Amino acid sequence: MRRSLLFLLLPFVILLTCQVSEEERIHQILNRREEALRKKDLSLYLACISKAYQDKGEDSSRLEKRIDGYFSTFDGISYSSWDRSVQIDGGTATVIQQFHLEVEKGEKKNRYSGQEAISLKKEGKAWKIIGGL
């Protein structure tokens, strides 16, 4: 009897241990954005952004044009983030993180460091950035 109960519970236990937490999904989308910046990959970047993006008078199409301009202007982009704090409230989340951005054009490099607050919204099963960029 115990053995059959164990076999019934085993798939359930495996399923629970394999599920990715909501916080981990948020980390994944932010890591993808970071990768997109380093690779200057506009498609990958936009896959992280919600069509409902709205921040400081900028919607998703204006954000796309701005990021595309950065990718075509700069020879290299280096971006890293750390010390990430994630607050989830139902279907929305806010991330506060430290970042370092370095852009290169020819021999000239500009460096920016600071703290950023990124807003996300859950769309279906995926988290998308809706503000803060």
Does 33 fall in a domain? yes
Q: Tokens in use for 2?
A: 């115990």
Q: What is the CATH number of the domain that holds 120?
A: 3.10.450.50
Would residue 34 count as lying in a domain?
A: yes
pLDDT at 20: 73
Q: What is the pLDDT of residue 13?
A: 45
15 occurs within a structural domain: no
Q: Is the dihedral of CA 34, 40, 44, 48 positive or negative?
A: positive
- pTM, whole model, 2 decimals? 0.83
Strand order in the sheet with 76-89: 76-89, 92-105, 108-123, 126-131
Segment 8-66, tens digit of pLDDT: 555 554 444 445 799 999 999 999 999 999 999 999 999 999 999 999 999 999 999 99
Looking at residue 4, its pLDDT comes to 55
Whether residue 126 has pLDDT greater than 70: yes
8 located within any domain: no
Q: Which domain holds residue 120?
A: 21-131
In a domain, residue 73? The reply is yes
pLDDT of residue 15: 43
